Structure 1
């Protein structure tokens, strides 16, 4: 089932609490915010330290060094039957030595595993400042993050992650009690959220604002489906304190699992999505040729992006005289605000485009959507960005758009596959032979035996249909 996250603004509910209690709630939040990133860095460093400790034990064990060296030497050459037998014996010997090292490490960690020892270490320092539930969830996040990058750290491809103040505060929802409360009075309905009721008793009021993402209906559904097996489910979520214009704002990063919609879709009908230049998206199917559609207009999209860029450059020119020192942050604030505004505009556009793709897929009953794998898109054989793609790649958010299509399709029960983008824009969707594109928007088939020979075909439609027809599915 798909997992989504919603960012919703919170404010501390003032009803029924004194000014001192209100200040205490803020102190509790800031206390966690001030110490959480320190605990996160402590956990991450301890994981790295235990890995290095294990490596040093291997280096200081002559038998382990000799066996691993012999294995590497045999693996580099073609082995005889006798050497193959010896190779397997060496591997078994190395596994036994690994068990010895792991046992020594566990003995050094007082008979516990690494994760338990880290939790004991950090809780000893921070349990009076951070609730244990938050520390437990933080450790789970750090563990997952470290495992993903540990190989790259060992190879020297990256450094250890550094966490900073303001990181999201992870927490779990109580399993036996609905944390959301609906309060209706004087014709007004508010939804409240109780957080760490036993320790701090903070009650937040959820501020939905204009609610373009329909967050109010999602929370109402969570309340209605609480403890239902087939309804919306709450996952580990987080609260984040954001300092903006000298004011601290509180946001709930609500993570929830949504049940997949049960729909009657044709798993043989594939919708291909081409991310193009003239049109942001062009859609075509592997079935009837007349089922096609384009979404958006690149001219208006890019013109708006260029307006943002011109304004940004103008602000930069006006601020060229800005030196370092006190007040620099405030002087550059206009640039940051403009960058945020542009980012929000692009994200909104991508939400609209992705929603239209899913609506079209449901309308025609397509059970599968094909997208091009983005790795290397717009680049030549040497890995350089092609001249005709430099401008568009700088101004487009292809990856974000694909991500939105993926999770929205999953919510509707539509399968999304990534296909190899090679030659999708250079071959004829009718015969599969190579053609020519003398113009960006026009494709011509050069196969005399093809019924489309010499005809002008919309290049984006041709690419979208090739994507839909593609059997070269690649891993995500």
Structure 2
């Protein structure tokens, strides 16, 4: 088994290299869109080679242009031409045979004086003990270079071999706002993750600052603040997901179960005062981080139907509504509401129907 991740590496191109990368990225995206348009007009997948693509790009990059255009066209054809996307974010891609890297740079063919020349571009890869650097010792795929928040980023696809655990110890994880995550093991060992109060405070702080900047019509400052907020949220999700997977490892968990997130904004337990936080917090990203970190450890991730997980008594099966954070049942069962959710998620029906037994292996 294997898991494919994207490793992001910051680049430090010279001013001349920046100009070249910007031009190539814009040419790349324009050419992809043009080829998609040509295929849509022809209602057929065009057989193309690098020689048949008229663009000021290295032949290796032209081949990636063709692959990207064909990939998008397959989706267009599948939709019966109802949706024809136009790519807008400039980027440029090289396959794994056309780039190399060392401790200080990534070398790849770019256009220099009208010709393709393999050129080293400085990169922040000095620390050999950095997790990103260690991941690059695995099988590498294509590299995509793009600009994010005025910084050039190399995104490298890395395929990592994993070994899935064969026993059946299950961990249920309930995601929320007041408590970002609660996990419950088969033996009812419980742990709370994240700080909901801190999250809400920071969201209010960012929101108030945005309002203040909006009144002053400082649009660039608002954009910069939004990027800062997203980085902060992403960092929190990374930390929580790492703690959850570490907790799973400590308890020899083989399966982590999460709520299917398709309707979480409709089903999440929240009050009117939390609505703004609910609709700006990325539950999906946190679940995604848990998913890929778990798979790297050989832990399977399953998604379950979230219906009534916070209302059903794990002891007798009757349904009751919690009062504030306390869940109480007439059978005598009493727990924190989110703990009840995590316990029930362990046994809830798996969405695809392919479920591991939620009992400890002997």
**How would you bin the TM-score normalised by the shorter chain?**
0.7 to 0.9
CA offsets 1:198-227 (integer angstroms, 9 cap, x no match): 9312112212489997323334xx2xxxxx
Q: Of 24, 32, 51, which residue of structure 2 is paired with 1:32? A: 24
Which one has a larger percent helix, Structure 1 or Structure 2? 1
SS at match of 2:167: strand
Q: Of 48, 65, 76, which residue of structure 2 is paired with 1:138? A: 65
Q: State yes or no: 1:442 paired with 2:311.
A: no
Contact 1:429 1:463 in 2 (8 A): no
For 2:359, the equivalent position in structure 1 comes to: none
Aligned length: 348
SS at match of 1:37: helix
Q: State yes or no: 1:273 paired with 2:274.
A: no
CA offsets 1:103-162 (integer angstroms, 9 cap, x no match): xxxxxxxxxx7231xx25x853524x11222122222223223323444463x4xx4211
Q: Which moved more, 1:425-434 or 1:458-467?
A: 425-434
1:470 & 1:26 partners in 2: Cα distance?
Answer: 52
CA offsets 1:368-392 (integer angstroms, 9 cap, x no match): 0101001112426xx9x98586344
1:268 & 1:151 partners in 2: Cα distance?
Answer: 38
1:365 & 1:211 partners in 2: Cα distance?
Answer: 30
SS at match of 1:278: coil
1:12 Cα deviation (Å)? 4.0
- Cα 1:179–1:396, aligned 2, differ >3 Å: closer, same or farther? same
1:355 Cα deviation (Å)? 0.5
1:144 & 1:388 partners in 2: Cα distance?
Answer: 44
SS at match of 1:7: strand
1:455 Cα deviation (Å)? 4.3
1:388 & 1:152 partners in 2: Cα distance?
Answer: 40
Contact 1:278 1:441 in 2 (8 A): no
Normalising to structure 1: TM-score of the pair? 0.67
Q: Of 340, 343, 352, which residue of structure 2 is paired with 1:465? A: 343
- Cα 1:340–1:153, aligned 2, differ >3 Å: closer, same or farther? farther
Contact 2:127 2:133 in 1 (8 A): no
Contact 2:175 2:181 in 1 (8 A): yes
For 1:344, the equivalent position in structure 2 comes to: 231
For 2:187, the equivalent position in structure 1 comes to: 288
Contact 1:284 1:465 in 2 (8 A): yes
1:301 & 1:243 partners in 2: Cα distance?
Answer: 23
Which runs of 5 or more structure 1 residues have no equivalent in the other structure?
14-21, 52-112, 182-189, 223-231, 320-330, 447-452
Q: State yes or no: 1:44 paired with 2:45.
A: no
Q: Of 151, 164, 167, which residue of structure 1 is paired with 2:90? A: 167
Q: Of 390, 404, 420, which residue of structure 1 is paired with 2:275? A: 390
For 2:313, the equivalent position in structure 1 comes to: 428
1:32 Cα deviation (Å)? 1.5
Matching of residues 46-125 of structure 1 within 5 Å: 46-51=38-43, 114-116=45-47, 119-120=48-49, 123-125=51-53
2:324 & 2:7 partners in 1: Cα distance?
Answer: 39
1:174 Cα deviation (Å)? 1.9
For 2:290, the equivalent position in structure 1 comes to: 405
For 1:59, the equivalent position in structure 2 comes to: none
For 1:180, the equivalent position in structure 2 comes to: 101
Q: State yes or no: 1:195 paired with 2:126.
A: no
1:442 Cα deviation (Å)? 1.3
CA offsets 1:166-224 (integer angstroms, 9 cap, x no match): 5221111228xx8123xxxxxxxx433221289312112212489997323334xx2xx
- Cα 1:460–1:241, aligned 2, differ >3 Å: closer, same or farther? closer
1:306 Cα deviation (Å)? 0.9
**Superposition CA RMSD, Å:** 2.9
- Cα 1:406–1:440, aligned 2, differ >3 Å: closer, same or farther? same
SS at match of 1:200: strand
SS at match of 2:303: strand
Q: State yes or no: 1:126 paired with 2:54.
A: yes
SS at match of 2:104: strand
- Cα 1:233–1:276, aligned 2, differ >3 Å: closer, same or farther? same
- Cα 1:210–1:391, aligned 2, differ >3 Å: closer, same or farther? farther
1:461 & 1:266 partners in 2: Cα distance?
Answer: 26
Normalising to structure 2: TM-score of the pair? 0.86
